[in-house]
Amino acid sequence: MTFSPNAVARLRDEREEESTKPYLARGSRAPRCHTCRVIESHCLCSWRPKVSARSGVCLIMTKKEVFKPSNTGWLIADVVSDNFAFIWSRTETDDGLLALLSDPQWQPYLVFPGEYVAPERVTHTVEIASSKRPLFILLDATWTEARKIFRKSPYFDALPILSLLPEKLSRYRLRRSTRSEHLCTAEVASLCLELAGDSEASSALDAYFDVFSQHYLDAKNQLPINESSVAHQELGVFVKDLPHNRSQ
């Protein structure tokens, strides 16, 4: 089965080629699958969902983030076929990013907490003309890095800010019994997709993130893979060719 390209994987491959010495991500001693980054014995590739979405997603990343095996922007790029990713630099602006921001087919929204922004720029809903499609720009970095990217990227100054309302966030946490205070990038993207009416892609991304977390942790703790979990069942709905249905 063919999948649309993953822009984060492309960035990783480009950076790997550029660097003179191989970049050793943490925990990189065990062999990892080159396609899904999970330790080979717990490879996620056959669980990649195939869904369609009207929305696009653009990830702004740091160099480090591209190589982190735990990065969840990668999962978004696996699920949303119109995905873009750029490495942020304070001194250089990527022409590809500027072209994307001015492409008339997209209505970009920069996803960021509203309390840090002038109120007139902030919106909590996604309502756009039918001639345009929403493009969610996500700062896929630590919170400290994200604030810096936000402050020092003048080309974002004109964009509307999509701020997720606290009640939406807490309802999401409750539904998914997420304990952590901060949502990861994949969870934020899922909420954005839901706001845009891309509910299938939103649910697929939630389930894919859960399955990824399970494979990732089981591999780390050297536990056998358990493909009969609830998360796998939920994800299975969006996987066209399930592993256990396959002939050898």
Closest CB 61 distance from Zn ion, rounded Å? 20
Stretch that binds Zn ion, among 13-21, 39-47, 193-201, 234-242 (CB under 5 A): 39-47
Residue whose tokens read 């702004």: 60
Least separation in angstroms between CB 43 and Zn ion: 3
User: Distance (Å, rounded) from C-alpha 22 to C-alpha 84?
Assistant: 24
Which tokens belong to 1? 């089965």
Residues 6+ apart with CB under 8 A from 248: none
Residue 231 tokens read as 């998360």
Nearer to Zn ion, 43 or 159 (CB): 43
Of the pair 45, 165, the CB lying nearest Zn ion is at 45
Handedness of CA 109, 56, 232, 219 (dihedral sign): negative
Among 8, 11, 36, 77, binds Zn ion (CB under 5 A): 36
Q: Are 163 and 117 in contact (CB under 8 A)?
A: yes
CA distance 104 to 230: 41
Give the nearest distance from C-beta 41 to Zn ion in angstroms.
Answer: 10
30 makes contact with Zn ion (CB under 5 A): no
Give 40 or 103: the residue with its C-beta nearer to Zn ion.
40
The DSSP code sequence of 129-181 is -TT-EEEEEEEES-HHHHHHHHHT-GGGTTSPEE---HHHHHHHHHHHT--SS
Residue 117 interacting with Zn ion (CB under 5 A): no
Q: CA 169 to CA 119: how far, in whole Å?
A: 19
Closest distance between Zn ion and the C-beta of residue 82, in Å? 22
Choices 41-49, 127-135, 154-162, 203-211; region in contact with Zn ion by CB under 5 A: 41-49
Asked if 189 contacts 80 with a C-beta cutoff of 8 angstroms, the reply is yes
With CB under 5 A, what is the number of residues at the site for Zn ion? Answer: 5
Of the two residues 45 and 237, which places its CB atom closer to Zn ion in the complex?
45
Closer residue to Zn ion (CB): 35 or 41: 35
Establish if 35 lies at the interface with Zn ion (CB under 5 A). Answer: yes
Give the binding site for Zn ion (CB under 5 A). Answer: 33, 35-36, 43, 45
